[in-house]
A and B are shown apart, each in its own frame.
Chain A
């Protein structure tokens, strides 16, 4: 199973994905630098990513806490999510995301 992650230089990386891991952990384990300063506690907004529009409907809605935390991120759009708040599962195999400014 894989996640495709586009970095700030526009380069796309194919990352090995593990069931029940968060997308933030998958990015970090894949060797892509991501700040994720609070270690996945939804407390820093430095794991901000854009989810490819084609995948958005497959993800559960963000919690109120996540939406609130995104206030501390930059260039937030309708595709913005916090990678530590998306838990990977087999239905997300092939998920496409890109890192947002302020997350590396």
Chain B
């Protein structure tokens, strides 16, 4: 993987049949339907693992409306889909934002990620769901002025925090893990959380509390209400403890971990027609207003649309039929059942031979 802090060098394009933007449940099932039609897929997702909303927002919660699966959790659904698409050997590009989509001279689509991965294919499937997952930014006035210089939402390089007077905001695993990992490097770490309870691995919580007790880091139970400094350099943050006067805490860097939120992101710049941040499609093929670009799952809209996983699965099947005609123009599409087709069973690796 390319180091994001280095200049992104454009790599030579990887050729494939279909580029899928988004590895949520619908993007994953698309691999299956496309695979039955001999189409090889590359998937790009900003998350570091498959599953989209199921993996990020409700891994442990039960889903009851997947046909023939009375109950499974978000994680289980993702694992089962990964199992189901295994025979088709999809390639995943995780932790990367699909950023730019262009037409090549040969009429293919070229997709470039923020890490410099370049993919080329005749078909693009946008399965971007509710948008790409991005860190939640505190709604603090002027915080943008410091982003990337002294306010961060992720750790790219630990060394960047050496000798810093660092404030870490949040009460989950990310906040706790980074507080523990950066404590030996930073000059001083202050963990700020709104309550004296943490939703993180108990072991990390007790390690953190031990460091606080030994005087090796600070813990403030407070709300962070403003930031101040100059020229992108943070000088202090304002903290409010319940029932007390606000006060300033001097610091030179801040890491904020309030979880992730979904934002449409670069898909808006792909040149596909949008309606209220959703992509209108033709419901017989799930093609967008740009031929050979499809949109399936939560990201699309059409009369009667319901944002359900099962709708996305159906959309994937119809999309794959049209994609077949584009990827294999010289072949005739053949409708077959997985139950009875030895050809499909061979592709799935379950044939008797």
Q: A residues within 8 Å of B by Cβ?
A: 37-39, 41, 43-46, 67-68, 70-78, 101-102
B259 in contact with A101 (CB, 8 Å): no
Check A71 against B261 for contact (C-beta < 8 Å).
no
Docked pose: A44 CA to B223 CA in angstroms: 19
Residue of A nearest to B243 (CB): A78
Which secondary structure dominates chain A's binding surface? Answer: loop
Interface residues of B in 33-58 (CB under 8 A from A): 57-58
CB pair B61 A41 closer than 8 Å: yes
What's the least CB distance linking B183 to chain A, in Å?
Answer: 21
Complex interface bits, B214-235 against A, C-beta within 8 A gives 1, otherwise 0: 0000000001010000000000
A41 contacts across to B, CB distance below 8 A:
57-58, 61
> In the complex, are the beta carbons of A46 and B57 less than 8 A apart?
no
* A43 CB to nearest B CB, Å: 5
* In contact, B139 and A74 (Cβ under 8 angstroms): yes
Interchain nearest-CB distance for B305 vs A (Å) = 14
| Chain B residues whose CB sits within 8 angstroms of the CB of A43 once the complex forms | 57-58, 61
Known: A71-B170, A71-B172, A71-B194. A37 touches B130 (CB 8 A): yes
List, sorted by A's number, 28 A–B pairs whose CB atoms are closer than 8 Å: A37-B130, A37-B262, A38-B57, A38-B58, A41-B57, A41-B61, A43-B57, A44-B57, A46-B261, A71-B170, A71-B171, A71-B172, A71-B194, A71-B195, A71-B199, A72-B136, A72-B258, A74-B138, A74-B139, A74-B223, A74-B258, A75-B139, A76-B194, A77-B223, A78-B242, A101-B139, A102-B136, A102-B138
Contact A44–B225 (Cβ < 8 Å): no
Contact mask for chain B residues 144-177; partner A; CB cutoff 8 A; 1 contact, 0 none = 0000000000000000000000000011100000
From residue A34, how far is it (CB to closest CB) to chain B in Å? Answer: 14
Query: Which of A44, A76, A101 lies at the interface centre, i.e. has the most chain B CB atoms within 10 A of its CB?
Result: A44
In the assembly, what is the distance between CA of A4 and CA of B111, in Å? 48
- Which of A39, A43, A70 counts the most B-chain CB atoms under 10 A from its CB? A43
Given A37-B130, A77-B242, 13 more pairs with CB closer than 8 A: A44-B57, A44-B259, A45-B259, A71-B170, A71-B172, A71-B195, A71-B199, A71-B258, A71-B259, A72-B259, A76-B223, A78-B242, A101-B139
Q: Once the chains bind, are B138 and A44 in contact (CB under 8 Å)?
A: no
Quick check: is B93 within 8 A (CB to CB) of the other chain? no
Min CB gap B349→A, angstroms: 36
What residues of B have a CB within 8 angstroms of the CB of A38 in the complex?
57-58
A6 → B minimal CB distance (Å): 16
CA distance A25 to B116 in the complex (A): 42
The 10 closest A-B CB pairs, nearest first, are: A72-B259, A101-B139, A43-B57, A71-B171, A76-B194, A102-B139, A68-B199, A72-B258, A43-B58, A74-B138
Q: Give the CA-CA distance A75 to B238 in the complex, in Å.
A: 12
- In the assembled complex, the CB of B172 is this many whole angstroms from the nearest CB of chain A, namely 6
Docked Cα-Cα span, A77 to B244, in Å, equals 13
In angstroms, Cα B239 to Cα A75, docked, is: 10
- Minimum Cβ distance to chain B for residue A5 (Å): 18
Most buried by B among A38, A39, A45, A71: A71
Give chain B residues whose Cβ lies under 8 Å from the Cβ of A39: 307
**Smallest beta-carbon distance B27→chain A, Å:** 19
Contacts of A78 in B (CB 8 A): 242
Interface string of B66-92 (1 = CB under 8 A from A): 000000000000000000000000000
Judged by a CB distance under 8 angstroms, whether B193 is at the interface is yes
Q: In the complex, what's the smallest C-beta–C-beta distance from B24 to chain A, in angstroms? A: 14
Q: Which residues of B contact A71 (CB under 8 A)?
A: 170-172, 193-195, 199, 258-259
Q: Of all chain A residues, which has the CB nearest B242?
A: A78
Query: Closest approach, in angstroms, between the C-beta of B79 and any C-beta of chain A?
Result: 19
A7 to B130, CA, bound (A): 24
